[in-house]
Structure 1
Amino acid sequence: MSQSRDEAATAPAALTVLQPPGWRKPKGYANGMAGRGTLVLTGGLIGWDENEEFPEGFVPQVEQALRNVVAVVAEAGGEVEHIARLTWYVRSVEGYRRSLAEMGAIYRNVMGRHYPAMALVEVSDLVEPKALVEIEATAIVPDT
């Protein structure tokens, strides 16, 4: 039986959040993650669907890109809670900031309350002309 994203986020973790003593807890990401198992590295996944069609707008593309990350990790037998790192490449950091409230709900819908280590980088262009975001992931799927 498949777990909901919130149930998966509260399941025993294969990853350990790395939080140095005395540091403020970050909101929406982790400073670092550690784990043992099969390392899964995705390519840069953009916000198109299986037919290579893009939804209109930044937030819908983020949602699809995250779904694409989850699908690739699932191919290795992994779940959302095995994602240790996300690197986001966006065309506009300002557009990202303006979308934070709307994006939070979308993120939780796809990723639950799992917040891996993350980085965000503004880029001048992406290979696909319609792409507004590209996300790379690193996951550690526990050995069974």
Structure 2
Amino acid sequence: MKEPISTAGAPAAIGPYSQGILAGGMVFVSGQLPVDPATGKIPEGIAAQTEQALKNLSAILAEQGMGLENVVKTTVFLADMGDFAGMNEVYAKHFKAPYPSRSAFQVAKLPLGAPLEIECIAVK
């Protein structure tokens, strides 16, 4: 059985998908853009954008009493691989060893013209 997860602490879904899904003790969080849910705006700079995307992920995980320490896998989508080092510096501040597995890709375009999107899988 799957259960949708929703919170006002992260941007609302902009399509036919859930912010997250709980299934079998695992939480699958949809890709989070660096959109501030209070303003609907994307902050300037890859560091602030990474912070916001991770804050959005955290808000969704918190709905299930979880945090970034529960994350076992992330995927990072970047509009420009030149932003990888800046993203990675902020990302490293939020995750502790043993780090989740991760994939990172440069993509042609992201929704709302965002520079990055981060999704994750977490385990209770």
> How high is the TM-score relative to the length of structure 2?
0.72
Out of 131-140 and 43-52, give the one that drifted further.
43-52
How far apart, in 2, do the equivalents of 1:50 and 1:95 lie? Answer: 23
Residue identity in the other structure for 2:72:
A
How far apart, in 2, do the equivalents of 1:56 and 1:79 lie? Answer: 25
CA shift in 2, pair 1:62/1:112, >3 Å? same
RMSD of aligned alpha carbons? 1.7
User: Which of 63, 73, 76 in structure 1 is aligned with 2:61?
Assistant: 73
Percent identity among equivalent residues?
29
Point out where structure 1 has 5 or more consecutive residues left out of the alignment: 1-36
Report the equivalent of 1:50: 37
Higher RCO (CA 8 Å, separation ≥ 6 residues): 1
What whole-Å deviation, never above 9, does each CA across 1:62-96 have from its counterpart, x for those lacking one?
Answer: 11101111111111111221111110000111221
CA shift in 2, pair 1:86/1:112, >3 Å? closer
1:108 Cα deviation from its structure 2 partner: 4.5
Point out where structure 2 has 5 or more consecutive residues left out of the alignment: 1-23
1:125 aligns with 2:113: no
Report the equivalent of 1:135: 118
How far apart, in 2, do the equivalents of 1:93 and 1:136 lie? Answer: 17
- The alignment covers a number of residue pairs equal to 99
Structure with bigger strand share is 2
8 Å CA contact 2:32, 2:57 repeated in 1 = yes
Report the equivalent of 2:77: 89
8 Å CA contact 2:32, 2:117 repeated in 1 = yes
Residue identity in the other structure for 1:116:
P
How far apart, in 1, do the equivalents of 2:91 and 2:83 lie? Answer: 16
CA shift in 2, pair 1:121/1:108, >3 Å? closer
How far apart, in 1, do the equivalents of 2:91 and 2:109 lie? Answer: 23
8 Å CA contact 2:69, 2:96 repeated in 1 = no
